[in-house]
Structure 1
Amino acid sequence: MTAFSLEPAQLAWCAELRALAAERLRPLAGKGEPGRVNRALLAELGALGLLPRLFTSGALELCLMRESLAHACTEAETALALQGLGAHPVHAHGTDAQRAHWLPRVAAGTAVAAFALTEPAAGSDAAALSLTATPATPGRPARPGGADGWRLSGEKCWISHAPEADFYTVFARTTPGAGARGVTAFLVPADRPGLTGTALDMLSPHPIGALAFDAVPVTADDVLGEVGRGFRVAMDTLNLFRPSVGAFAVGMAQAALDATLGHTARRDAFGGKLKDLQSVAHQVAEMALRTESARLMVHAAATAYDEGAPDVPRRSAMAKLLATETAQYVVDRAVQLHGARALQRGHLLEHLYREVRAPRIYEGASEVQRSIIAKELYKNLEDR
């Protein structure tokens, strides 16, 4: 039922979040420096109790948060989402000591988390990671609390919050030639010797950078989950966050649709209002149809995750794919119907036009989502 209609309390909470985003978060976002972590914004997200919800909410609640924040303040939405993406592996797979040290600080907005999966030659193909974890003492296994462990060597790139994060969830190859089965997840504090970062000049309001690992020491105490099971940590995180990327996109699409409704209802053209032109009215109807369809698929995927359904990977991929492609369409149509004013610096649609492009790439590009969907469909056929 929840996948198709929200309860009154949920609708009221979403309205409250939109108001908070507009009144308290948007002013802080406006004071931030482009390409830098906005720590004041993170602290306010913590003070409002939104960051702690990252570790107590289900997938549907996460989607409602992200859509509501995105409608009024995309910077606040992204700040919250990146904290969740970087810290979820610690919450779900970390040790008691790891959780106790980092999660309260993430929830307060005083520690910045980052998810370091992508490499120069391994973006969408996560199983092809080449960042190597070489045993510090050949032939001797790592021991909890011991000095033995690994040395990380290689690169990560296009990492959100790098190089300003306080810690990174890092995925490295511990077993050469083993594909997805040879990857281990590590929690790596930013001050580890041998770890350096460089900011990249990207079309993004938050920092995105590259990381270089020069024999960075890690031990068994830094492992997230199990050795050799890091790919599972990555996929568990992405299956949760992919529908909520879709929710972010839906929030942007709804903001663009709302702006278009207001503009076309007020704008005089050809002896009437823009909305009276059938060609305009039909475009607005199509924008609304696609936005609501994407929202329903996002809610359905999130509900499936919360219920532990077996088809979560397929549903998550479908939700992200449909919602991000829909948002691109809706924002583009909104710009067209607004005309030149929409491209003026500072206009809502100029902002959304820049923001809406990246979600079709990160956490698995649209082409990757189609591959996941097809793979899951054929796997189900074989299992019959």
Structure 2
Amino acid sequence: MPAFALEPEQQEWCAWLRTTAGERLRPLADKGDPGRVNRPLVAALGELGLLERLFASGALDLCLMRESLAYACTEAETALALQGLGAHPVAAHGTEAQRARWLPEVTAGRAVAAFALSEPDAGSDAAALALKAEPDGGGWRLTGEKCWISNAPEADFCTVFARTTEGAGARGVTAFLVPADRSGLSGTALDMLSPHPVGTLVFDGVRVGAGDVLGEPDRGFRVAMGTLNLFRPSVGAFAVGMAQAALDATVAHTARRSAFGGPLKDLQAVAHQVAEMATRTEAARLLVYGAAAAYDRGAPEVPKYSAMAKLLATETAQYVVDTAVQLHGARALRRGHLLEHLYREVRAPRIYEGATEVQRTIIAKELYR
């Protein structure tokens, strides 16, 4: 993986994103209802041109956006990422009619997208999907349940992965674009540790046709994996943004907080922990950027690098935020404190879009090819 550095204009753009997230998007996030889609926040992302940029730039741009937004407003980062995750299959594999119908609405922030892959008994093992797509005339009827779906059940449309050929494993899955108003589609919100919009989707004979297929029948697993290979490094970028926010807060706190006759930073036990936090954060950032650059140049090692980036960055962020809480003491556990917020936010990325253990499996598989 070649070394590189960000160009000055990229650094300036990241600084603008952090400032904009703090000044414009943070107030909108604070007004949102926990566990619900924040449509004014999504609309603001559209007005700023960030949603359009999701589909007009590469993986490195996506990582820079997610890291910068996460530093100042995790809710804005998540809203942006979920729009991209749910609508990327439409942009990459949709028909002209599908793209014309939905992409302008998504990029303007008027339509909310969802990526419906996980099921109650099929999370990281995506090839074990059980949602049935049973033939019905010239189309199919979807029957079953999806679970842990971000933006469900409020999304305006979902990219849904269903089994069209029994016993075929990953080769028998088809991706469908399913509008929320289809008869037989319902859902329920779930109350999560971090109050993001997450829920279930229930399909009771939902009718889909050839015009709803994304890509080709029985080739939906490629759609899912292609999307995840793009977004996995950017999950790492989200984690790096949170880690940097926690690190900066810790540097400031340990410099001004006095104990045992001087500032905490003068205690070697404290200073060495902060040094470790900074080193791991920078290492994770470089691996994330490297994986994104590999994706953008079409390198064959993308699955390996994407898995490495997500693995290292999310585990690093967990360590950094936990250490920051420890060095801040009880104040960090108070509701409304930055670190209390980050402590709840940082746990889920080690699970979604492929858990840590799955990333290690992917890396090992790539090494032994």
1:3, 1:303 within 8 Å by CA — same for their partners in 2? no
- For 1:267, the equivalent position in structure 2 comes to 257
- For 1:98, the equivalent position in structure 2 comes to 98
- For 1:296, the equivalent position in structure 2 comes to 286
Q: What are the within-5 Å matches in structure 2 for residues 4-15 of structure 1?
A: 4-15=4-15
- For 1:357, the equivalent position in structure 2 comes to 347
- For 1:142, the equivalent position in structure 2 comes to none
- For 1:82, the equivalent position in structure 2 comes to 82
**Residues in 1 aligned to 2:346 and 2:74: alpha-carbon distance in whole angstroms:** 10
Please give the per-residue CA displacement for 1:297-333, whole angstroms capped at 9, x wherever unaligned.
0000000000000010000000000000000000000
**Residues in 2 aligned to 1:97 and 1:69: alpha-carbon distance in whole angstroms:** 32
- For 1:144, the equivalent position in structure 2 comes to none
- For 1:335, the equivalent position in structure 2 comes to 325
Q: What are the within-5 Å matches in structure 2 for residues 96-175 of structure 1?
A: 96-137=96-137, 148-175=138-165
- For 1:70, the equivalent position in structure 2 comes to 70
- For 2:31, the equivalent position in structure 1 comes to 31
Q: Quick check: 1:16 aligned with 2:6?
A: no
**Residues in 2 aligned to 1:19 and 1:252: alpha-carbon distance in whole angstroms:** 15
Residue segments in structure 2 that go unaligned for 5+ positions in a row: none
**Residues in 1 aligned to 2:33 and 2:313: alpha-carbon distance in whole angstroms:** 29
- For 1:145, the equivalent position in structure 2 comes to none
Secondary structure, counterpart of 2:368 in structure 1:
helix
**Residues in 2 aligned to 1:246 and 1:327: alpha-carbon distance in whole angstroms:** 9
Alpha-carbon offset, residue 206 of structure 1: 2.0
**Residues in 1 aligned to 2:2 and 2:367: alpha-carbon distance in whole angstroms:** 25
Alpha-carbon offset, residue 4 of structure 1: 3.0
- For 2:208, the equivalent position in structure 1 comes to 218
Secondary structure, counterpart of 1:133 in structure 2:
strand
Alpha-carbon offset, residue 5 of structure 1: 1.1
**Residues in 1 aligned to 2:310 and 2:220: alpha-carbon distance in whole angstroms:** 23
The alignment's C-alpha RMSD in Å is: 0.9
**Residues in 1 aligned to 2:4 and 2:146: alpha-carbon distance in whole angstroms:** 40
Secondary structure, counterpart of 2:54 in structure 1:
helix
1:3, 1:299 within 8 Å by CA — same for their partners in 2? no
Alpha-carbon offset, residue 2 of structure 1: 8.3
Please give the per-residue CA displacement for 1:231-259, whole angstroms capped at 9, x wherever unaligned.
00000000000000000000000000000
Secondary structure, counterpart of 2:50 in structure 1:
coil
Counterpart residue type for residue 93 of structure 2: H
Q: Quick check: 1:310 aligned with 2:300?
A: yes
- For 1:345, the equivalent position in structure 2 comes to 335
Q: Quick check: 1:57 aligned with 2:47?
A: no
Alpha-carbon offset, residue 201 of structure 1: 1.4
1:75, 1:205 within 8 Å by CA — same for their partners in 2? no
**Residues in 2 aligned to 1:247 and 1:17: alpha-carbon distance in whole angstroms:** 14
Counterpart residue type for residue 240 of structure 2: V
Alpha-carbon offset, residue 59 of structure 1: 0.1
Alpha-carbon offset, residue 204 of structure 1: 2.6
**Residues in 2 aligned to 1:93 and 1:2: alpha-carbon distance in whole angstroms:** 30
**Residues in 1 aligned to 2:63 and 2:178: alpha-carbon distance in whole angstroms:** 28
**Residues in 2 aligned to 1:3 and 1:234: alpha-carbon distance in whole angstroms:** 29
Counterpart residue type for residue 285 of structure 2: R
- For 1:235, the equivalent position in structure 2 comes to 225
Counterpart residue type for residue 230 of structure 1: G
Secondary structure, counterpart of 2:235 in structure 1:
helix
Secondary structure, counterpart of 1:51 in structure 2:
helix
Number of residue pairs matched?
369
1:332, 1:353 within 8 Å by CA — same for their partners in 2? yes
Q: Quick check: 1:255 aligned with 2:232?
A: no
**Residues in 1 aligned to 2:194 and 2:255: alpha-carbon distance in whole angstroms:** 32
**Residues in 1 aligned to 2:290 and 2:176: alpha-carbon distance in whole angstroms:** 32
- For 1:286, the equivalent position in structure 2 comes to 276
Alpha-carbon offset, residue 57 of structure 1: 1.3
Counterpart residue type for residue 195 of structure 1: L
Secondary structure, counterpart of 2:14 in structure 1:
helix
**Residues in 1 aligned to 2:69 and 2:15: alpha-carbon distance in whole angstroms:** 10
**Residues in 1 aligned to 2:261 and 2:2: alpha-carbon distance in whole angstroms:** 45
Question: What is the percentage of aligned positions where both structures have the same residue?
Answer: 81
**Residues in 1 aligned to 2:53 and 2:37: alpha-carbon distance in whole angstroms:** 20
- For 1:141, the equivalent position in structure 2 comes to none
Counterpart residue type for residue 116 of structure 1: A
Counterpart residue type for residue 284 of structure 1: V
Secondary structure, counterpart of 1:123 in structure 2:
coil
Residue segments in structure 1 that go unaligned for 5+ positions in a row: 138-147, 380-384
**Residues in 2 aligned to 1:68 and 1:79: alpha-carbon distance in whole angstroms:** 14
Counterpart residue type for residue 94 of structure 1: G
